[in-house]
Amino acid sequence: MKRFLATLPSLLATFVFVLSAQGADESPAVKAHFVDRNDPAVKDVLRYGINAINRVGVSLVREVNTAMAQGGPEGAVDVCHLKGLPLVNGLVAGMPRITALKRTSFKVRNPANRPDEVDQLALDQVKYLLDHGDEVPPLLVQRVEPAAGNPEWRVYKPVAVMPQCLACHGDPAGQPAGLRAKLTELYPEDQAVGYNTGDWRGLIRVTVADE
């Protein structure tokens, strides 16, 4: 986890990815690039993004801790994690400018959490840094410009596996039979097992609307 706390490597700011969902000779369906989070131009985006991510991150851990204390892992599966946060007028209730919250990973439990093509860039970026032994920044800021529709910002926070996550994301052989059965039933395509404490689990993402 320590390496997640480092400052943004300058190389991140220089990365520009252009995606194409169509043929190479057509204009791309969506363009996305990372922005230096210290750039004054993203000060507000970052402020709204951090507030929302902190709330999501704290709730995620608190929810796991409370549910585990009350019902053990089997009971806790039903409340994990922040499922169905309500959108009011296209915004997450109580979170100004936040139009979406997501948790994603290379290995998802719920297929609904699979990365889209732009999330994929953020996953690839963190993986690249980890593979090269480089510091992973606490947050990544991404500007997304779809060919049609409004541009938006995304703020991502890499999350690590903590000891209390292992009950449901650790070695499946160590899971009680009831929990295993429940996870298999609810998530037949579950890939989110086999983690150890300190592993990189994935990203919490918030989408911040353009002003």
- The residue (of 31 and 125) whose beta carbon lies closer to ligand HEC is 125
123: contact with ligand HEC by CB under 6 A = no
Tracing tokens 């963190």 back to the chain, one arrives at 126
Q: Hey, what's the torsion of the CAs at 166, 172, 176, 177, to 10 degrees? A: 150
Q: Which of residues 59-78 bind ligand HEC (CB under 6 A)?
A: 60-61, 64, 68, 73, 76-77
Out of 101, 121, 155, 159, the residue judged to bind ligand HEC by CB under 6 A: 159
167: contact with ligand HEC by CB under 6 A = yes
53: contact with ligand HEC by CB under 6 A = no
103: contact with ligand HEC by CB under 6 A = yes
**Angstrom distance (rounded) from CA 132 to CA 129:** 5
**Angstrom distance (rounded) from CA 145 to CA 31:** 5
158: contact with ligand HEC by CB under 6 A = no
For residue 184, give the nearest of 199, 168, 200 by alpha carbon: 168
Which residues lie below 8 Å from residue 118, measured CB to CB, with a gap of 6+?
Answer: 19, 30, 32, 142, 144, 154
Residues that bind ligand HEC (CB under 6 A): 60-61, 64, 68, 73, 76-77, 80-81, 83, 103-105, 108-110, 113, 159, 161-162, 164-165, 167-169, 192, 201-202
